[in-house]
Amino acid sequence: MRIRYLSHSCFEIRNKKTLLIDPFFTGNPLAPRYTGRPDLVLATHEHSDHADSAFLAEAGVPIVCTASCKVGKAHVMRVGEKETIEGIGVEMIGASHQRPPASPSPLAAGYIIEIDGKRIAHLGDTYIEGVKPLRDIDVLLIPIGGYYTMNVDEAVQALKIIKPKLAIPMHYDTFPQIKADPNEFRRKAEREGFKVRVMKIGEEIEV
């Protein structure tokens, strides 16, 4: 299974099927040109930097999202629900994205994805109070930028709650408000015994 980082909170996960999480290409100066053909798209919530309406309108594939996402072909899930979609195990998990200055998103969520026997958790946009223990997470995609989400120090605390085998930071540097140093997060997390991989935009790794 391969994971490719496409900036902000957007990742492509590929094995026999291709999964895209939180597409944000329109108006994103950091996003590479995306030519992939996903079989399934997951959006954690309705904000445009996680649910790119122009992209989703043309996706032509099932789009898993919360009820707050107004998109065609929506496959609405609720926190706690688990389904197998396009052969991919998808569980929607809770997030907390209502603390100012974030625009209130009471239905904001994250996902646990099961592919090839691996469990990948994408936390979406969440503050630390939305982080709960998760079982057997192989890869954790975790926001670190602060302001609209957890900051670096809170993200390290989140690792202590979830205890993933590998953490990959996301949701930083796209806007001035969320400037953060992913290597500071890596250093602090490694001092606590966690493994972190800082991915360059466009980089792909195998897990």
Domains and CATH numbers, the chain: 2-200 (3.60.15.10)
Task: Identify whether the C-beta of residue 166 lies closer than 8 Å to the C-beta of residue 197.
Answer: yes
Reported as type and span, the H/E element at residue 78 is none
Mean pLDDT by 10 residues, the chain (207 residues): 97 95 96 94 95 91 91 89 95 93 89 96 97 98 97 98 98 97 98 98 97
The pLDDT value recorded for residue 70 is: 81
- Residue 130 CB-density burial (10 A; 0-12 exposed, 13-18 middle, 19+ buried): buried
- Per DSSP (E only), the strands in 139-197 are 139-143, 166-170
The pLDDT value recorded for residue 71 is: 82
pTM of the predicted model, to two decimals?
0.96
Rounded CA separation 91/78 (Å): 9
- In the beta sheet, which residues pair with residue 120? 113, 139
The pLDDT value recorded for residue 106 is: 87
The conformation of residue 103, written as its DSSP 8-state character, comes to P
CA atoms within 13 A on the CB side of 159: 30
